Amino acid sequence: MKKEHLIEDPHLEYMELAQNPGSQTAASKQPATQPAAEFKHIGKYTPRIDGKKIVTGTAQFTHDLYVDGMLQAKILRSPHACADLVSIDLSQALSYPGVKAAFKLKEGRIKWAGEQIAAVAAVDEKTAEEALKLIKVEYKVLPHVVSEEKAMEQAAPLIQDQGNVQKSNEYNRGDIEKGFKEADIVFEQTYKTSWEVHQTAETHSSLAKWDGDNLTVWDSTQAVQSVRDGLARALSIPASRVKVIKHYMGGGFGSKLGLNDHTVVAARLARETGRPVKVVLTRQENSYCVGYRPSARMTIKAGVKKDGTLIALHFKNYNCGGIGRGDRCAEPTTDVYKCPNVKVEEYSVFVNTCGSRATRAPGHTQGTFGLEGFMEELAAKLGMDPLELRRKNYSAKEKGDTGNPYSTKGLDQCYKLGAEKIGWLKRNKKPGAGSGKIRTGIGMASQIWPGAGVPGTLADLRIYSDGSVEVECGTQDIGTGTRTHIAVVAADTLGLEPQDISVKIGNSDYPWAPISGGSLTTPSVGPAVRDAALKAAEYLKGLASKKLNTPPADILLENKKLVLKTDPSKAIEIREVVRGLPRPMVFHGERSEHPSTFAFQTFGAHFAEVEVDTETGKIKVKKVVAAHDVGRVINRQTAESQVLGGIIQGLSAGLFEEKIMDAETGTMVNPNLHDYKIATALDIPEIIPIFADVVDDRLNNLGTKGLGEPPRIPSSAAIANAVYNAIGVHVREIPMTPAKVLAALKRKEAKP
């Protein structure tokens, strides 16, 4: 049978890196397993080594760069969701005082409101803004469609030649029909998620500067290496002539992966004018021009035995990511629970709005909201404890117990730790069992996410002849504390303190490291740094062995010294050992391959406690306990912060966030932080992060996995399930606004 053509997933590169990390170079054959040593800093609380810069306002974000002769650019964007561009007249803008250059950026068909039309570079931002208004554009406005339902209708304007609905994913395991026949109970339900905008604190921004044929770009990016490669392609120049730098950035969450269109504009304007050009997007542009999480409408149908054993799962999803494809959301359904018969069908629906973008745990976040809401409702239908239903279908292997065994899996520990901490037994045995105006409830949700890291990641560690140490790595800190993680690993390996390590990152000229996305950074960069530091440690021990007259194996590195294991009084300072070296010694570290016979995933479970006002429909999240298995934790201080942030973003999406489109104009009606509400200090619950600390020695030399995405994944689902436990009816759609809660309560009354 001929296989049906599937459209590409827009975030495939991201997902492939996350799930199936391929080696960038031939990785060194370092031993996969290191002894579980006693670490001084790894796994403990280390304050950020760059904290002082942040709190004094001296950390340099791309927004904060001002260089001599710098021009500011502004971009004219289409006000129409669908139109043909008839003409652009730049003449008045070009003769406006202070304008140095102007370009057309578009020809032909415009497909979303916000598409780049033209750009202006001027002596300052205000002048550029005024000049934009002088650009005369003639559009032939065409019909548009911005709602998924309307786009699926026969009469809808066609967004893509192949149709507004296209298959984006399929997967089959076992025999789904046989599974349903063997089931005691067949249950089906539909869950929806909305368009969630990243809304990074720092809006997207780039500064481009040419020096002859060499281009330097400072960019607010999660991927200096990818932006370098992208710029070289876009400008048809050698990658060797492009350098991308990022010191600090105000959040990314997926919206700053890869090259942005406005960055190319800055580079072109800089080339045209011979002056550095900076572009800073406005909050409005950041709201509707740089992506969002695609929506999902997921129908899940399960065949289950009376004792709760899952024997068939059918996952059908319509995702919507504007003019681009939406996310594949099936993986939680195919992988979290043991199930022999699974069928997946996913379709992308196209509409006239900006293309979506990878958003913290793309696909898994939506898919988990669907699957975990479904499991909670299924448990009620079976009269089972929802946690027991999950344990009943616990899987030791990937692909629902049909693939490779997980190298380690601490989900059971997460269940135990989380359930104890929240007081799982306090929950309503039957959803909605309470009484009164204010109802309380407890719910939970499980999580998986790859987060294994990328073999081939490189890091260089340098020891100078004065004993000082620096690490160079072409990764970037997107706000998670990567500098500190690198320092902790290097310091712990060399008997130093984290502040002793000079960490140089955020420059595409440094040794290769992957994008900071997909929870890849720590399990990619950490092991590469560890590898380099272990090599350096061996070198230092070799030098010291001559001076201490003892074999290297008998020497330890601690307190900035090389110490004889058997007699700590015999010691020599590291700086003494390297004094007089003719040149700095460089040690190349590389992240090793991991075995292909095992599956590697992160796991977690969230437990939420909520109050629901049944008169107003308002939800108050009281407490969230988050238990995560991410292998060995490198820095508990920053790891906890990651968990807090993931939960708050999940809460925010679960209760408030939605990009809302106006059907008439085809534009976003809430492109700001007032109408697009995100969680504030007044909305947050008490949060208790717990780590299962399951070290995965097969995975890498630190036994560590990624943590960026995991805490975001089950957060909205656990809250929605707690609301279900409180009021006895599942809202099934985020954001769970008061109106939707009240509608759900009405649905319950109508169907007693």
Residue 127 or 169: the one with the smaller Cβ distance to another protein is 127
Q: What does the alpha-carbon distance between residue 251 and residue 478 come to, in Å, rounded to a whole number?
A: 6
Classified as helix, coil or strand, 546 is: helix
Q: Pattern 586-615, binding to another protein, x per CB under 8 A?
A: ------------------------------
Considering only 40, 104, 338, 620, the residue that binds another protein (CB under 8 A) is: 104
Classified as helix, coil or strand, 526 is: helix
Residue 56 or 596: the one with the smaller Cβ distance to another protein is 56
The least distance separating another protein from the CB of residue 630, rounded to whole angstroms, comes to 17
Give residue 518's Cα distance to chain centre. Answer: 5
Phi, psi of 528 (to 5 degrees): -65, -40
Considering only 85, 134, 264, 389, the residue that binds another protein (CB under 8 A) is: 134
Considering only 682, 739, 750, 751, the residue that binds another protein (CB under 8 A) is: 682
Nearest C-alpha neighbor of 372 from the set 51, 606, 91, 208: 606
Q: Applying CB under 8 A, does 686 fall inside the site for another protein? A: yes
Q: Applying CB under 8 A, does 109 fall inside the site for another protein? A: no
Residue 66 or 383: the one with the smaller Cβ distance to another protein is 66
Residue 281 or 344: the one with the smaller Cβ distance to another protein is 281
Q: Is 8 exposed, middle or buried (0-12, 13-18, 19+ CB in 10 A)?
A: exposed
Residue 399 or 677: the one with the smaller Cβ distance to another protein is 677
Under 8 Å between Cβ of 623 and 685 = yes
Considering only 22, 31, 67, 136, the residue that binds another protein (CB under 8 A) is: 136
Classified as helix, coil or strand, 578 is: helix
The least distance separating another protein from the CB of residue 365, rounded to whole angstroms, comes to 15
Classified as helix, coil or strand, 365 is: helix
Quickly count: other Cβ atoms within 10 Å of residue 709's Cβ. Answer: 26
The least distance separating another protein from the CB of residue 608, rounded to whole angstroms, comes to 15
Q: Applying CB under 8 A, does 674 fall inside the site for another protein? A: yes
The residue count for binding another protein (CB under 8 A) is 81
Residue 287 or 493: the one with the smaller Cβ distance to another protein is 287
Q: What does the alpha-carbon distance between residue 574 and residue 558 come to, in Å, rounded to a whole number?
A: 9
Considering only 19, 24, 47, 497, the residue that binds another protein (CB under 8 A) is: 47
Nearest C-alpha neighbor of 259 from the set 6, 13, 7, 519: 13
Q: Applying CB under 8 A, does 637 fall inside the site for another protein? A: yes
Considering only 103, 112, 424, 449, the residue that binds another protein (CB under 8 A) is: 103
Residue 266 or 389: the one with the smaller Cβ distance to another protein is 266
Classified as helix, coil or strand, 686 is: strand
Q: Report the C-alpha dihedral over residues 513, 514, 515, 516, rounded to 10 degrees.
A: -70
Phi, psi of 591 (to 5 degrees): -75, 125
> Of 88-96, 350-358, 434-442, 610-618, which part binds another protein (CB under 8 A)?
88-96
171 DSSP β-pair partners: 344
Nearest C-alpha neighbor of 359 from the set 161, 222, 158: 222
> Of 197-205, 324-332, 409-417, 615-623, which part binds another protein (CB under 8 A)?
197-205
**What single string gives the DSSP state of each residue in 118-172?**
EEEEESSHHHHHHHHTT-EEEEEE------HHHHTSTTSPPSSTT-SEEEEEEEE
The least distance separating another protein from the CB of residue 479, rounded to whole angstroms, comes to 3
Q: Applying CB under 8 A, does 521 fall inside the site for another protein? A: no
> Of 49-57, 231-239, 487-495, 662-670, which part binds another protein (CB under 8 A)?
49-57
Q: What does the alpha-carbon distance between residue 220 and residue 26 come to, in Å, rounded to a whole number?
A: 30
Under 8 Å between Cβ of 650 and 604 = no
Q: Applying CB under 8 A, does 108 fall inside the site for another protein? A: no
Residue 468 or 637: the one with the smaller Cβ distance to another protein is 637
Q: Pattern 475-514, binding to another protein, x per CB under 8 A?
A: ---xxxx---------------------------------
**Segment 246-305, which members bind another protein (CB under 8 A)?**
248-251, 253, 268, 272-273, 280, 282-283
Residue 136 or 579: the one with the smaller Cβ distance to another protein is 136
> Of 450-458, 542-550, 566-574, 675-683, which part binds another protein (CB under 8 A)?
675-683
> Of 382-390, 496-504, 610-618, 638-646, which part binds another protein (CB under 8 A)?
638-646
> Of 129-137, 300-308, 532-540, 572-580, which part binds another protein (CB under 8 A)?
129-137
615-639 burial: b if 16+ Cβ within 10 Å, else e: eebbbebebbbbbbbbbbbbbbbbb
Under 8 Å between Cβ of 374 and 342 = no
**What single string gives the DSSP state of each residue in 182-228?**
H-SEEEEEEEEE--B----SSPPEEEEEEETTEEEEEE--S-HHHHH
Q: What does the alpha-carbon distance between residue 121 and residue 67 come to, in Å, rounded to a whole number?
A: 15
What sign for the dihedral angle of Cα 432, 433, 436, 439?
negative
Give residue 736's Cα distance to chain centre. Answer: 23
> Could you tell me the maximum CA-CA distance found in the chain, to the nearest angstrom?
86
Q: Pattern 649-668, binding to another protein, x per CB under 8 A?
A: x--x----------------
The least distance separating another protein from the CB of residue 129, rounded to whole angstroms, comes to 9
Considering only 15, 42, 75, 99, the residue that binds another protein (CB under 8 A) is: 99
Per-residue DSSP letter, 76: E
> Of 121-129, 187-195, 338-346, 545-553, which part binds another protein (CB under 8 A)?
121-129
Q: Applying CB under 8 A, does 679 fall inside the site for another protein? A: yes
Residue 152 or 643: the one with the smaller Cβ distance to another protein is 643
The least distance separating another protein from the CB of residue 7, rounded to whole angstroms, comes to 29
* Alpha-carbon distances, residue 424 vs 418, 565, 659 (angstroms): 8, 49, 35
Q: What does the alpha-carbon distance between residue 674 and residue 662 come to, in Å, rounded to a whole number?
A: 17
Q: Applying CB under 8 A, does 125 fall inside the site for another protein? A: yes
Q: Applying CB under 8 A, does 39 fall inside the site for another protein? A: no
Q: What does the alpha-carbon distance between residue 201 and residue 53 come to, in Å, rounded to a whole number?
A: 18
The least distance separating another protein from the CB of residue 508, rounded to whole angstroms, comes to 20
Residue 26 or 673: the one with the smaller Cβ distance to another protein is 673
Q: Applying CB under 8 A, does 315 fall inside the site for another protein? A: no
Q: Is 611 exposed, middle or buried (0-12, 13-18, 19+ CB in 10 A)?
A: middle
The least distance separating another protein from the CB of residue 106, rounded to whole angstroms, comes to 9
Q: Pattern 58-77, binding to another protein, x per CB under 8 A?
A: xxxx-xx-x-----------
